[in-house]
Amino acid sequence: MRGKIQWLRRAVQISVILMVLITPFLVQYRVLLANNEIEALRRGNNGRFSGKIYLTIDRWMRRPSKEEASNLNSAAEREKVARRLENVRGNVWSAEIFGFSLTDPLGGIESIFASRTVTKALLIGMLIPVLVTLVLGRVFCSWICPAGFLFELTDKMRNFLVKLGIPLRSISYSTLNKYTLLVGGLAMAFFVGLPLLGYFYPPALLGREFHQFADTQFYESLAGASTTGPFLFSGALLFIFFIFLIEITLAGRMWCRYFCPGGALYAILGSRRIIRIANTTSACTNCFECIRVCPMGLNPMATEPGLECDNCLVCLTSCQPGSLSLDFPFKKIIQANGLAKEDKPAQKIAS
């Protein structure tokens, strides 16, 4: 069961990344569909990636039932499908998924600070992320953030390079840096009215870049020729690539640990989280495995995991004696009534 938690986490991360990748193309496909340009696209398709991707989406949309295949040629049916597709839009920064409006609390709070007013739409959008963070802690960083997933790859690459015998530096900064950035950015928004934090917040940048990419592909598919040349992306991906390089060579997980303003906000929101990692010290063998694997560079053996823990549960998975466990308020009551299974790994080792 413990090992499967990490599989679950990877599945969630990958599905979020797929959503971030596919949503921009769905958005552009909706425009093609509403303007009845799919037929023209099919006729003018000369094997370019841009044309292929929209025709592939078209095939998906027509697959569920054979009757709809013919109906999608009628204007009314096209409008119905386009209306349905309108409910999927945005990116991790702010999105709407089948009626659920989701806005990153960082963007929301920045907007509130800059405009000095609170709007209903914003509160509705921030409701679900804030509630989840209050209960589960900083899970956005470890379970959802697509940039976090990319930066986790740097850890693997570092391990690989170390195995090859390449010397890598690992500089550590103060974790207070990210709180300073958050406070500085919010103060900037409040006093000057410039909401700047969204411009160097990797998940927002990634979403924006993919939308830009799908947009260029839209025009390319209609033109049947390249409209942009090889430079599809703007500076934002360069910024992320720059962080990537630094994290591999100089400082492991630099951005998430020390500099991410969004992570800082989630950490503050989740500081009183209900579900925490706890060490039942009786089984602990002081193997220090959890300290070695912790992506945030923390010490899960300590009784209080603290502000920085993002509940990625890597330490829980790696703990061989089964000493670490999830702690929540009603756990003791549940265990006393025999509703929860006892932790088995400890018994296995004993036998």
Partner 1 sequence: MGAVIPVFFPLLEKLPKNSRFKKFLRPPGAKAEEEFLRDCIGCGQCANVCPNKCITLYGLEGGLENLATPKINARAQGCILCMACTQVCPTAALEKLEPTPEGKQAVAMGTAFVSEDICYSFAGRTCGVCYHACPLPGKAMTLGLYEQPHVHAEFCVGCGLCEQACVHMPQAIRVVPIANLNERLRKKGIPA
34 binds partner 1 (CB under 8 A): yes
Identify residues 282-341 at the interface with partner 1 (CB under 8 A).
none
175, 258 in Cβ contact below 8 A? Answer: yes
Measured from the CB atom, the residue of 58 and 104 that comes closer to partner 1 is 104
Query: Rounded to the nearest whole angstrom, what is the least distance from the CB of residue 269 to partner 1 in the complex?
Result: 18
d(CA 348, CA 351): 5
Identify residues 69-108 at the interface with partner 1 (CB under 8 A).
86, 89-91, 93-96, 101, 103, 107-108
Residue of 195, 261, 305, 321 that binds partner 1 (CB under 8 A): 195
228 binds partner 1 (CB under 8 A): no
199 binds partner 1 (CB under 8 A): yes
Stretch that binds partner 1, among 38-46, 69-77, 208-216, 276-284 (CB under 8 A): 208-216
36 binds partner 1 (CB under 8 A): no
121, 101 in Cβ contact below 8 A? Answer: yes
Count CA atoms closer than 13 A to 240's CA, side-chain side: 22
114 binds partner 1 (CB under 8 A): yes
Measured from the CB atom, the residue of 35 and 226 that comes closer to partner 1 is 35
Query: Rounded to the nearest whole angstrom, what is the least distance from the CB of residue 94 to partner 1 in the complex?
Result: 3
Query: Rounded to the nearest whole angstrom, what is the least distance from the CB of residue 241 to partner 1 in the complex?
Result: 17
Count of chain residues binding partner 1 (CB under 8 A): 48
220, 228 in Cβ contact below 8 A? Answer: yes
Query: Rounded to the nearest whole angstrom, what is the least distance from the CB of residue 176 to partner 1 in the complex?
Result: 9
Measured from the CB atom, the residue of 196 and 293 that comes closer to partner 1 is 196
Q: At what angle do helices 146-163 and 202-223 cross, to 10 degrees?
A: 100
Residue of 18, 162, 192, 250 that binds partner 1 (CB under 8 A): 192
203 binds partner 1 (CB under 8 A): no
Identify residues 230-249 at the interface with partner 1 (CB under 8 A).
234-235
d(CA 277, CA 256): 19
Which amino acid would we find at residue 135?
V
Measured from the CB atom, the residue of 91 and 142 that comes closer to partner 1 is 91
d(CA 227, CA 24): 18
Stretch that binds partner 1, among 48-56, 211-219, 262-270, 300-308 (CB under 8 A): 211-219
204 binds partner 1 (CB under 8 A): yes
Contacting positions for partner 1 (CB under 8 A): 27, 31, 34-35, 86, 89-91, 93-96, 101, 103, 107-108, 110-111, 114-115, 119-122, 125, 180, 183-184, 187-189, 191-196, 198-199, 204, 207-208, 211-212, 215, 218, 234-235
